[in-house]
């Protein structure tokens, strides 16, 4: 379903199911949604762009009714080569917003317009070492920009602090209607700083699903984001 424009301006916690227990994925997603989460972050890895493999559209499709049925949406993060080849499959499976990496795509304009033509929100993601100049060109076309604060591939890594500096700068350079998603190493100690710098879609994988009670942890992190 298309994401309403105000949602890109709001501050949201996006639990990443990468760190969930996949044997009870539906229950874990329901727990965080019951805690007030509206956006679920889904990490797609191909073993080429990043040294890890995760899930494909089938898993997304299986949890889509649960999330959409509770008025939630998915932000799908493609860490794959040739993202343009797979965008339609993920939107068809339930992706509401799709990001792909600037480092993995030679045709930014084309891929952004393809995602939008399919009715989903379009985002471009940046690795920690990639300068923001690579996406400034498309800031008026995208719905969100994703700043990686770890090297993509795995959950549970320590935040690369200098990568966080890009968040403030990108926020200043980007229209207000565009969300800045921040992904990697976010936890209770740094989540407030991420928000203060201008990150408004904040991903947390291990911090949420590594906790004994993911629902309670999501609530706690959301409170820290909105003091
Ligand atoms: C990493 C993924 C992240 C990951 C974040 O490549 O893009 O979304 O799930 O996990 P944490 O929050 O544990 O760093
Ligand atoms: Zn991610």
Among all ligands shown, which has an atom nearest to the Cα of 151? Answer: 1
Does the beta carbon of 157 sit less than 6 angstroms from any atom of ligand 1?
yes
Minimum-distance ligand 1 atom for the alpha carbon of 45:
6
Minimum-distance ligand 1 atom for the alpha carbon of 204:
12
**Which residues are designated catalytic?**
43, 183
197 CB-near residues (< 8 Å, 6+ apart): 164, 167, 168, 171
Among all ligands shown, which has an atom nearest to the Cα of 76? Answer: 2
Domain count, the chain: 1
Task: Return the number of other C-beta atoms located less than 10 Å from residue 5's C-beta.
Answer: 10
CA dist 95 and 217 (Å) reads 25
Instruction: Name 120's bridge partners.
Output: none
Domain limits at 198? 5-225
132 CB-near residues (< 8 Å, 6+ apart): 126, 166, 169, 170, 173
* Both structure tokens of 57: 């559209």
Q: Whose CA is nearest to atom 7 of ligand 1?
A: 152
Does the beta carbon of 51 sit less than 6 angstroms from any atom of ligand 1?
no
- Taking every pair of Cα atoms in the chain, the longest distance, rounded to a whole number of angstroms, is 43
| Alpha helices (H) in 97-160, listed in sequence order | 108-117, 133-136
- How high is the pLDDT of residue 2? 83
For residues 103 and 135, is the Cβ–Cβ distance under 8 A? no
CA of 41 to the centre of ligand 2 (A): 7
Does the beta carbon of 128 sit less than 6 angstroms from any atom of ligand 1?
no
CA dist 192 and 17 (Å) reads 22
* Both structure tokens of 218: 């999501």
- How high is the pLDDT of residue 66? 98
Does the beta carbon of 45 sit less than 6 angstroms from any atom of ligand 1?
no
Does the beta carbon of 143 sit less than 6 angstroms from any atom of ligand 1?
no
Q: Among 84, 85, 83, which Cα is nearest to 44's?
A: 83
CA of 134 to the centre of ligand 1 (A): 22
| pLDDT per residue of the chain (227 residues) written in tens, 0 to 9 | 789 999 999 999 999 999 999 999 999 999 999 999 999 999 999 999 999 999 999 999 999 999 999 999 999 999 999 999 999 999 999 999 999 999 999 899 999 999 999 999 999 999 999 999 999 999 999 999 999 999 999 999 999 999 999 999 999 999 999 999 999 999 999 999 999 999 999 999 999 999 999 999 999 999 999 87
Strand, helix or coil at 82? coil
Does the beta carbon of 54 sit less than 6 angstroms from any atom of ligand 1?
no
For residues 138 and 162, is the Cβ–Cβ distance under 8 A? no
Minimum-distance ligand 1 atom for the alpha carbon of 153:
6
* Both structure tokens of 82: 């040739």
Q: What CATH number does the domain containing 214 carry?
A: 3.20.20.70
CA of 150 to the centre of ligand 1 (A): 8
């Amino acid at each position: 379903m298309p994401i309403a424009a105000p949602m890109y301006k709001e501050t949201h916690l996006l639990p990443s199911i990468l760190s969930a227990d996949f044997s009870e994925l539906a229950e874990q997603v329901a727990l965080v949604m019951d805690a007030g989460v509206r956006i679920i972050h889904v990490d797609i890895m191909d073993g080429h762009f990043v040294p890890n493999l995760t899930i494909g559209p089938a898993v997304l499709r299986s949890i889509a009714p649960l999330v959409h049925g509770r008025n939630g949406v998915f932000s799908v993060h493609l860490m794959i080569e040739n993202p343009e080849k797979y965008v339609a499959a993920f939107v068809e499976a339930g992706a509401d917003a799709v990001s792909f990496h600037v480092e993995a795509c030679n045709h930014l304009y084309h891929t952004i317009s393809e995602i939008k033509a399919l009715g989903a929100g379009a985002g471009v993601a940046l690795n920690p070492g990639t300068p923001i100049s690579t996406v400034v060109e498309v800031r008026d076309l995208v719905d969100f920009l994703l700043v990686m604060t770890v090297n993509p591939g795995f959950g549970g890594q320590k935040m690369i602090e200098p990568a966080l500096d890009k968040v403030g700068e990108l926020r200043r350079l980007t229209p207000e209607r565009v969300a800045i998603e921040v992904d990697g190493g976010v936890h209770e100690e740094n989540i407030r700083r991420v928000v203060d710098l201008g990150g408004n879609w904040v991903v947390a994988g291990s911090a949420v699903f590594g906790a004994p009670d993911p629902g309670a942890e999501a609530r706690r992190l959301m409170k820290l984001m909105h003091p």
